[in-house]
A = this chain, B = another copy of it.
Amino acid sequence: MSREKYWTADPAELLRVGDGFELAKTGTRASPGFDGDKAAGQEALAEGAEVLAELQEQLFAMSRMGDERRVLLVLQAMDTAGKGGIVKHVMGSVDPQGVQLAAFKKPTPEELQHDFLWRVHKQVPGAGMIGVFDRSHYEDVLIGRVREFASPEEIERRYEAINEFEAELTATGTTIIKVMLHISRDEQKARLTERLARSDKHWKFNPGDVDERLLWDDYAAAYQLVFERTATPDAPWFVVPADRKWYARLAVQHLLIDALEGMDLDWPKADYDVAEQQARLAAS
């Protein structure tokens, strides 16, 4: 595939959080494994779009014949890092019928009456789907920790609960890909500044974005802990440099394609007699 010609190494290997990972020492502007510029990246993204769409359709087709497998992409990031752009430009190339998107905002009073995984469990994608979590149960150990919405003991308990929840999903056919889009403090400032400078972007800005920004280092520490406690072989974390939007999109697309290619998909065999149905149809 020509889109592969630019990749000098598998981004899944380069971006996966492993032992000794340190967020503070991880770049936000590099393009690990991709030996090309923005134009090459956009070309590779367009080619990958067709590959991803066909793989998803095969996953969906197999689910119609009883295959229970599905993919779950978890997206976490600081504001403006580009979660929405991933949904629009990577998932947007997949048939909407094969994508199950869930955005987790501030919990409602009803949601707060339940354990923190209650609302998340309900949004696990169906068989044959690619589910996308725009924020997730990780908010409960990120803003939950930074803003002290829960006690330290409860936060500790939650890491375990998350690992058990994800192990259960994995055991029942879900391939989990957890992505943190990693931008720099300066890049966020530039992006928020642009939102304030353009009247067609004002609706995307919220004064609370600046409040969270002022806690940047606390969030970085909370993410570091998340990686240490919840990066597991079955549900790995990938930290994707995201100052350059084109690279982040391409890398996430590649992670999805990798995951689907590893599932040994194919068009399912008919579970009816084709010749018999052809005869019935001809006579109809």
Contact = CB atoms under 8 A, between A and B. Distances in A.
Contacts of A101: 96-97
B92 A193 contact: no
Interface in A173-209: 189, 192-193, 196, 199-200, 202-207
For A84, A207, A270, A281, the residue with the greatest tally of chain B CB atoms inside 10 Å of its CB is: A281
A169 interface: no
Given A207-B272, A272-B207, A196 B96 contact: no
Taken together, the copies of this chain in the complex come to 2
A203 B61 contact: yes
Nearest to A91: B96
Given A84-B97, A96-B99, A210 B267 contact: no
A280 interface: yes
A152 interface: no
B92 A87 contact: no
Contact of A97 (B88, B192, B268, B280): B88
B97 A103 contact: yes
B281 A189 contact: yes
A151 interface: no
Interface of chain A: mostly helix, strand, loop or mixed: helix
Interface residue tally on A, bucketed by range: 35 or more
A157 B228 CA distance: 60
Contact of A270 (B205, B213, B267): B205
A278 to B, nearest CB: 5
A51 to B, nearest CB: 15
Interface of A: 61-62, 64-65, 84, 87-88, 91-92, 95-97, 99, 101, 103, 134, 189, 192-193, 196, 199-200, 202-207, 210, 213-214, 267-270, 272, 274, 277-278, 280-282, 284
15 contacts: A62-B203, A87-B97, A88-B95, A96-B99, A97-B103, A97-B134, A196-B274, A196-B278, A202-B268, A202-B270, A203-B267, A205-B270, A207-B280, A210-B281, A214-B284
